[in-house]
Amino acid sequence: MSDAARIWSLNYRVLLSVISCAEDEICALGLESKELFLLAEIDEHPYPAELATALSMPKATVTVYLKRLEASGFVRREIDPSDLRRHRLLLTATGRKAATGGMSALSEEFDKRLRRLTAAQQKELKTLLEKIV
């Protein structure tokens, strides 16, 4: 395995591990992990097509998740006042609370792993990740 593939594999394993360990808390909020990521991006990307692009998800998949999130009271759609042909997404108070709680659960799980590193190593990891993003 090449170094790049190995690094990718390690990164993916960390991601899956964090999500897996936070899954019960996320489910207790009434969400699947992918729905959580969608909720967490709505403020920054309030249009479904933008959301799909930002999350590298097919538009049809985003639509399915949004319908469920709307039905559950996490998201609502409203006509965009600047373009009456478009709908924009807004988090409800319930949706915002769920997004905050879910992201906190993921953050706590990731923090457990980060604490294995020194402060200097954490800073270096952040710098390196910012360079490759």
Look at residue 10 and tell me whether its pLDDT is greater than 90: yes
pLDDT of residue 32: 94
Domains of the chain, start order: 3-132 (1.10.10.10)
Mean pLDDT across the stretch 95-101?
97
- Euclidean distance between the first and the last CA atom of the chain, given in angstroms as a whole number: 22
Look at residue 15 and tell me whether its pLDDT is greater than 80: yes
Residue 102 binned pLDDT confidence (cut-offs 50, 70, 90): very high
Q: What letter represents residue 39's amino acid? A: L
Look at residue 95 and tell me whether its pLDDT is greater than 90: yes
Question: What are the φ and ψ backbone dihedral angles of 13, each rounded to 5 degrees?
Answer: -65, -40
pLDDT of residue 118: 97
